[in-house]
């Protein structure tokens, strides 16, 4: 019998099973997303029917929202604040906002739900969080705008970035399309729902990299399960 208390070993086993299950599911989800995107050919908006489609066009929105860091007028923005703790980046603040939007390819209009989509963008504003445990003046201003007061915020192991989409940006969207009256809408209740300014190949590679990261996490969970089981059998 192992010298470790059974309660500790069962806790390790339970943690390993949870990590393995969650990470494995997320890895499979990203692989499935990559495969669906790569196998879905582009369609014109005028030719859309109900089902999974990929569409490319210029994005527009009803009004705009102002991004907190760059103060741009956007169709959509996302702000992320992370702090490095125990050799990993932990999310302290994640906020996003958007307006009702649509894609126009010159031949039709496709309504979008930007806040439910997996938005993958190439460009962003970013910075470090300051030194000697003091957040920068810029970061302090942004947190005040957002009304956020993250606990235990310390520099310099802090990073933050802002992503945005502005009217007229060329985007492509992959997701499930449904008919609504005389128009179409791409919704977030299907197998995949991606909005990106990258081309299809880059998005597929991005999803594959995410899948590989989750495979690594799942391997850690599997290691905990194996180790805990062996300790119990000793």
In sequence order, the 6+-apart residues with CB closer than 8 A to the CB of 25 are none
Predicted pLDDT at 167: 94
The per-residue pLDDT for range 72-126, each reduced to its tens digit, is 999 999 999 988 877 778 889 999 999 999 999 998 899 999 999 989 888 777 7
Domain chopping of the chain, boundaries: 6-233
Task: Please give the residue that has the higher pLDDT: either 154 or 147.
Answer: 147
Name the DSSP class of 42.
B
Q: Region 7-20: what's the mean pLDDT?
A: 84
**Residue 71 contacts by C-beta under 8 Å, 6 or more apart in sequence?**
none
- pTM, two decimals, is 0.76
Q: Which residues contact 226 (CB under 8 A, 6 or more apart)?
A: none
Q: Which among 45, 177, 180 is positioned nearest to 107, based on CA atoms?
A: 45
Per-residue pLDDT reduced to its tens digit, 45-65: 888 888 888 899 999 999 999
Confidence of residue 1 (pLDDT cuts 50, 70, 90): very low
Pairing of strands 101-104, 88-98: unpaired
């Amino acid at each position: 019998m192992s010298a470790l208390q059974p309660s500790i070993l069962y806790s390790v086993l339970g943690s390993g099973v949870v990590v393995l299950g969650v990470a494995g599911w997320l890895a499979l989800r990203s692989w499935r997303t990559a495969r669906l995107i790569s196998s879905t050919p582009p369609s014109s908006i005028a030719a859309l029917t109900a089902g999974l489609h990929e569409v490319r066009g210029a994005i527009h929105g009803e009004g705009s929202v102002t991004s907190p860091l760059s103060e741009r007028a956007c169709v959509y923005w996302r702000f992320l604040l992370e702090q490095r703790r125990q050799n990993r980046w932990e999310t302290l603040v994640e906020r996003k906002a958007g307006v009702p939007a649509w894609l126009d390819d010159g031949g039709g209009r496709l309504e979008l739900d930007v806040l439910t989509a997996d938005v993958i963008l190439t460009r962003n504003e970013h910075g470090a969080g300051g030194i000697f445990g003091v957040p920068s003046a810029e970061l302090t201003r942004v947190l005040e705008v957002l009304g956020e007061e993250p606990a235990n915020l310390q520099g310099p192991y802090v990073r933050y970035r802002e992503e945005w989409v502005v009217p007229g940006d060329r985007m492509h969207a992959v997701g499930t399309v449904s008919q609504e009256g005389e128009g179409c809408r791409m919704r977030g209740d299907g197998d995949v729902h991606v909005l990106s300014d990258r081309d299809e190949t880059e998005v597929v590679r991005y999803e594959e990299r995410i899948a590989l990261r989750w495979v690594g996490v799942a391997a850690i969970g599997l290691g905990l399960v194996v180790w805990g089981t062996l300790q119990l059998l000793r």
